[in-house]
Structure 1
């Protein structure tokens, strides 16, 4: 059984994605509401510590983990954030987390592999400087690493591109088949911003991961929409018309085409602030009918919540995305117990990592590395 630590664990989506072949020996998050859902699903878990990561002691972490997963806060790195980067109040939580890893290293217990996950904005934050700083820290600590951008839409009907920095300790061999040349499917040109800023040593330790493309997705957003949603109600006709009134001509044309489709059409709407022709900022309702949900966000800091729009001929209905629908978009199982309050449930889902993406990375990179080295050690013995 492979072991792992789960920092910034939230509702435990990384743990669910890793699967039954992995044993969690430490989990941490400062949010007690998420902790309730985590413990309910995993039936207790004595290893979950509800605490600020800055107060975590290495004595609380058992053994030497095969993997450390850390989805550190994204607010200061998000494209919609304040631009503070990893020096910010929230995303700066990376540093106390890294202090824990540094102490483990001094104790001779450095994790064999590390995965850091965050929003795409991390790639371009401060013109690549923030990502380059993180890479340099990993290399100094004895890791070879490579960043990748993976969109959950490959697995789920949910547009959610995220950065994954996958690091392997220098004491482990990396099978040659797992690395290669940059692949535009995983390595956008923007990664060059950080690569160019790296020291010569860090560049030499940069890995271009060779990740297989998953089988074509068969599910659509419509498949996940509830006919009788729990936790939300359909808007009144007045409210629906008010939302339609916020649409630009382009979005109104999309709605018009959906009405002419001659079938039930499900779409999503986000409210966004845009400048009009006169340069005045106005709130707009932007709709998409491609059977893919927009990226889930947490309902805090002024972020809008995703709205479902159902079109059947000239009949149009709208409502908020339900908590269970949000959970499905993240790949959570139907048996997962969500918080009772809408905002708490939506926050848990919107603040997590897509479950099947975790499984894909674990299966095709982390487990490949660990299994190869286990075989090598058996042969040596």
Structure 2
């Protein structure tokens, strides 16, 4: 097997690509519809991803060994489901725009027949619609002839952030595969902080008072909602795409000052991006982009195991059951 090739679908700013490139893969095609993410992607990889995948015919996509896709997760996330319920919008596969994008992955798998794939989504994908959504995804992948493995992994083993995501690995052949052993968590928030930070990241008196009042109101009702003031020796909550709104889920304490938001570079570090990664978007866009991305070193170790399975080619002894836990 020569250098393995891969395609990067729903590429965002290229977190999956970085992980697979670090593992020795070569990207031959990328697709991302968001124009601001495209700008960041081009700045770092020297190419503008193709646009809307629904408008790209399979014949336009090069042959490849591995398909990568962190397909849109909001229709399946806990926050996404709550938001769509409140707005009267269907969620999951019934979501009018995002939910059906999984079927674009299925289309390309069917037409291009890569040897393997890696899909990433929110942990809640497993329980969405009482498990029926995930069962349907498994059935579709099985019907396409792929042998699949999946696991929910917390990125806290690689970065100082609680971030649970489900990873789905599939092989065209019944290959043996094991998710990587996770290192003991040895990271703390202080490790990713910049030494000098602009005053603009410090919360205003008005916003800080609002967050405290909001937390107190919900505490009185017995709810757990509220800001997240970080223990610098510990880890953070999950960085989300909404971080740009008020930064409340991850606030850095400051001596004799109001807490502050993370800077975009600190968000990049929290997601495992190297400092060489260029941040060319506004703060607002950068927060959205990193919040929507993947933890790079976690993808890298999964990529290592996928490539090892493809290279070794060890077949499963028992292949009746296509879906493996």
**What TM-score range do you get, normalising by the shorter chain?**
0.7 to 0.9
Give structure 1 stretches of 5+ with no counterpart. Answer: 179-209, 249-272, 375-381
Displacement, 1:305? 5.1
CA offsets 1:320-344 (integer angstroms, 9 cap, x no match): 2211111111111111111331111
Cross-structure match for 2:72: 73
What SS does the aligned partner of 2:290 have? helix
1:360 aligned onto 2:301: yes
Partners of 1:309 and 1:316 within 8 A in 2: no
User: 2:175 is matched with which residue?
Assistant: 174
Question: Which structure 2 residue ranges, 5 or more long, are not aligned?
Answer: 83-90, 315-325
* Rg larger for: 1
Q: Are the aligned partners of 1:232 and 1:322 in contact in 2 as well (CA < 8 Å)?
A: no
In 1, the alpha carbon distance for the partners of 2:243 and 2:194 equals 24
Cα offset, 1:141, TM superposition: 0.4
Q: How far apart are 1:28 and its partner, in Å?
A: 0.2
The CA deviation at 1:231 is 9.0
| Aligned counterpart in structure 2 of residue 371 of structure 1, from 291, 311, 314 | 311
Deviation, 1:276, is 3.9
The C-alpha deviation readout for 1:63-111, integer Å capped at 9, x for no partner, is: 2x21101111011100111261122132321123322322x1xxxx301
Query: Are residues 1:151 and 2:150 paired?
Result: no
Whether contact under 8 Å (1:147, 1:166) holds in the other structure is yes
Q: More helix by proportion, 1 or 2?
A: 2
Structure with higher strand content: 1
After TM superposition, the structure 1 = structure 2 runs for residues 76-115 of structure 1, keeping only pairs within 5 Å, are 76-82=75-81, 84-88=91-95, 89-102=97-110, 104=111, 109-115=112-118
Q: Provide the aligned length of Structure 1 versus Structure 2.
A: 302
The change in CA–CA distance for 1:111 and 1:218 in structure 2 (over 3 A counts) is same
TM-score, normalised by the number of residues in structure 1? 0.72
Instruction: Give TM-score scaled by structure 2 length.
Output: 0.84
Give how far 1:223 is off.
Answer: 1.3
Q: Corresponding residue for 1:196?
A: none
**2:227 matched to 1:285?**
yes
Name the CA shift for 1:299/1:242 in 2 (closer, same or farther; >3 Å): closer
Q: Matched residues in 1 for 2:206 and 2:219: separation?
A: 25
Distance 1:341 1:238 in 2: 23
| Structure showing greater relative contact order (alpha-carbon pairs closer than 8 Å, 6 or more residues apart) | 2
- The C-alpha deviation readout for 1:202-257, integer Å capped at 9, x for no partner, is xxxxxxxx334233233311111223235943234554444344444xxxxxxxxx
**Cα distance in structure 2, aligned partners of 1:303 and 1:85:** 27
Q: Which runs of 4+ in 1 moved over 3 A?
A: 236-248, 273-277, 281-284, 300-307
Partner of 1:52: 52
The 5 Å alignment of 1:298-309 reads 298-299=241-242, 306-309=249-252
User: CA–CA distance in 2 between the matches of 1:56 and 1:230?
Assistant: 43
What CA distance in whole angstroms lies between the structure 2 residues aligned with 1:117 and 1:323?
23
